[in-house]
Amino acid sequence: NGLTLGLGDNKFDDLYDDTQNGDVSVSGAIGGLTVAVVTDADADTAAVAAVAHSATAPASAAKAAEWNGTSYSVGYKIGDVTLGMKGTQHNDSGDAASVISAGYTMGDVTITLSRDDKGKAKDVNKVAVSYSAGGVTLSGSATDAKVAGKSEWDASVAYTAGAVTIKAETDESDSWAADVAYDLGGATAFAMTNKEGVAIAGVSFAF
């Protein structure tokens, strides 16, 4: 319980989507209630069109709009029910947006329903289900949105045994990816591959 204050130039992710950033973060918890706010001290910057070179002025490149607003997150847990709401003054399109959600846990299964108000864009409704037991985690979700003309969905399976974690995932595009990680203690060895034939292996270190 209590409040936590954080300061740093663009250090904190927007609480609605992490494509925006803020300079000040305030968060806290009281019982089953959690709250957080992230805000940016800078003013919004309007988009600037490109200018071609002329006899009176040099050429200049176009600049995208920069949104520096405030975002928030509120959550409440009572028993097996979790309620949440998060929002922002500006999403990637510059619109005010918010998500409300409700989750219910029954033993090893959690079901979550959410509605994403994307501002001027179409609202998106989503249902997600996850199961976790004995080192195995299964999860899947579906929305009423369309991606390349297909109904949006995704599914994944993960298995953890000791220091090893294996994971595979796929979605409506028929794409898939699989990876394995081994915790070395202070470092993690990993390997991954996907449908496109990309294969990567390496070691990441934590300092």
Q: pLDDT tens digit string along 70-119?
A: 999 999 999 999 999 999 998 888 889 999 999 999 999 999 999 999 98
Helices (H) and strands (E) in the chain, counts: 0, 14
Is the model's pTM score more than 0.75? yes
When pLDDT is cut at 50, 70 and 90, the band that residue 61 belongs to is confident
Give first-to-last CA distance, the chain, whole Å. 29
Q: pLDDT tens digit string along 139-168?
A: 999 999 998 889 999 999 999 999 999 999
Q: Cα 25 vs. chain centroid, distance in angstroms?
A: 17
Q: pLDDT tens digit string along 25-42?
A: 999 999 999 999 999 887
When pLDDT is cut at 50, 70 and 90, the band that residue 52 belongs to is confident
What's the token pair of residue 149? 């003309």
Answer whether 42's CB lies under 8 Å from 63's CB: no
DSSP state of 16: S
The structural domains of the chain, with segments of one domain joined by +, span 153-207
